[in-house]
Amino acid sequence: MRALASIARELELGSALKIGKGEEVTGGRDKNSILADAFEALVGAIYLDHGFDVSAEIILRLMKSAIEEAVTRGAGLDGKTALQEIVAASGWSPPEYKVSESGPDHDKDFVAYAIVNGITYPQGHGKSKREAEQVAARIAFEALSNK
């Protein structure tokens, strides 16, 4: 989602969106989920107007840097998968996550802690439970990788 939102930001799609007053007030034009959805809609429109070959060419051009980064980072792109792999290789029990949330329903903030082998690692923050867990997992993975 973040990769698509990043591309949407580069294209300044947020400024072209029609959003409700609530989203406008809470920064909806810069929310990852809304920007990623807008980029997906743009891709769909390009496909419907120009077909597969043209849309594939445009998508590959727009996503080139995100694809290259994903290939370079491999499993490291997904913090939870990377953490799971290092934990399994060490023979430990699977990681656990402790998650809390705060804020109004329309603008939640999540905090997650990864717990590995009885050790609680520093918190990860995100706008969704999944995002906070990914950040927490990445922090734990990096700490374990540097041991």
pLDDT tens track for 100-121: 999 998 889 999 999 999 999 9
| Predicted pLDDT at 117 | 93
The rounded Cα 115 to chain-centroid distance in angstroms is 21
DSSP 99: E
Residues 79 and 135: their CA atoms lie apart, in Å, by: 7
Mean pLDDT of the chain: 90
Residues 42 and 82: their CA atoms lie apart, in Å, by: 32
Per the rule left: phi > 0, alpha: psi between -120 and 50, beta: everything else, 103 is: left
Taking 60 as the threshold, does the pLDDT of residue 13 lie above it?
Answer: yes
Taking 60 as the threshold, does the pLDDT of residue 76 lie above it?
Answer: no
* Residue 1 pLDDT grade (very low, low, confident, very high; cuts 50, 70, 90): confident
| Predicted pLDDT at 71 | 61
| Predicted pLDDT at 83 | 92
For 89, the token pair is: 């290789």
* Residue 30 pLDDT grade (very low, low, confident, very high; cuts 50, 70, 90): very high
| Predicted pLDDT at 65 | 83
What the chain holds in terms of domains, given with CATH numbers, is 2-74 (1.10.1520.10), 78-145 (3.30.160.20)
Taking 70 as the threshold, does the pLDDT of residue 70 lie above it?
Answer: no
Break the chain down into helix, strand, coil percent, rounded to 5.
65, 15, 20
Which residue is associated with the tokens 């939870």?
A: 80
CA dihedral over 42, 45, 50, 53, signed as positive or negative: positive
pTM above 0.85, yes or no: no
Taking 80 as the threshold, does the pLDDT of residue 75 lie above it?
Answer: no
| Predicted pLDDT at 64 | 86
CB neighbour list of residue 122: distance below 8 Å, 6 or more residues apart: 113, 136, 139
DSSP 75: G
